[in-house]
Amino acid sequence: MYDAELSPSGEFILIGLVAITCSALLTRAMIFFHREIAGTRPIYPDTWRSAECRAFEHFRLLVGIGLVPLWGSFLLFAPSMRKDLAFGHVDVFFFILLLWISDAWVLLLVPHNWQKFGAISRSFRITITLLIMWWLATFTATEWMFVKVSEPPSDFISGVYAAQDAPFLTTLATISI
């Protein structure tokens, strides 16, 4: 049997992680809104055409829209997340993970000068390809983890559940003692 209870220091660490990720997200969001209110437009590399800049802005919007179903699935799966794991507060870890993913999206919105990222940012195709691959991998891995943690434990992995379903094994164990 696994103990899902945390020590006070473990609870303090979790609360600290939540506080740090929330503050990072809020700080970046405030920077973004400040720049939007001030009317500061991002500076894209000179090699990007205006159509590519608009496509990049649409991509950033698409990532933000993609976060909505990700948060929705977290809210859907959180009550059914297994508590029999070595650490029973998996939902808090996923909450922190989603805060980091949301922070990464705001970080995608915040940069004022895209030219500062060097040679990679000069090529729109390389930049957008790397960003698409990263966001697809992030969304897919997160959804996959939600589903895996929410499904009931497998009989193959956990022998306790297999023994409970097979009364003859319990009888054999009792006879042999």
74's CB contacts (< 8 A; 6+ apart) are 94, 95, 98, 146
C-alpha closest to that of 139 among 101, 109, 104: 101
> Which tokens sit at 67?
């976060």
pLDDT by residue for the chain (177 residues), tens digit each?
344 566 777 778 888 888 998 999 899 889 888 988 988 888 888 888 999 989 999 999 999 999 999 999 888 888 777 665 555 677 788 888 898 999 888 888 877 777 777 766 778 898 899 999 999 999 999 988 888 887 776 654 555 544 455 554 454 444 544
Is residue 54 within 8 Å of 127, Cβ to Cβ? no
